[in-house]
Amino acid sequence: MEGRGASASGGVVDKSSPERGGGPRSGGGAARQRRSTAPPPPPCGWSPSPFRGGSQKDMAMTDARRFAPATARNREPIAAILRDVLPPEGTVLEVASGTGEHAIFLAQAFPNLAWQPSDPDPSAIASIRAWAEAARLPNLRPPLTIDAAAADWPVERADAMLCVNMIHISPWEATVGLMRAAGRLLPAGAPLVLYGPYVQQGVETVPSNLAFDADLRRRDERWGLRRLEDVVELAEGEGLRLEAVHAMPANNLTVVLRREG
Q: Which of 1-15, 60-74, 93-107 has the highest mean pLDDT?
A: 93-107
Tens of pLDDT along 184-209? Answer: 999 999 999 999 999 999 999 999 99
**Residues 184 and 156: beta-carbon distance below 8 Å:** no
Q: Is the pLDDT of residue 47 over 70?
A: no
| Closest to 195 measured CA to CA, from 110, 71, 92, 112 | 71
Class of residue 37 by CB neighbours under 10 A (exposed 0-12, middle 13-18, buried 19+): exposed
CATH number at residue 199: 3.40.50.150
Per-residue confidence at 19, pLDDT binned at 50, 70, 90? low
Instruction: Look up the domain containing 179 and give its range.
Output: 33-259
Residue 54 lies in a domain: yes
Tens of pLDDT along 123-182? Answer: 999 999 999 999 999 999 999 999 999 999 999 999 999 999 999 999 999 999 999 999
Q: What is the pTM of this model?
A: 0.80
Residue 73 lies in a domain: yes
- For 94, the enclosing helix (H) or strand (E) is strand 90-95
Number of domains in the chain: 1
Distance CA 152, CA 150 (A): 6
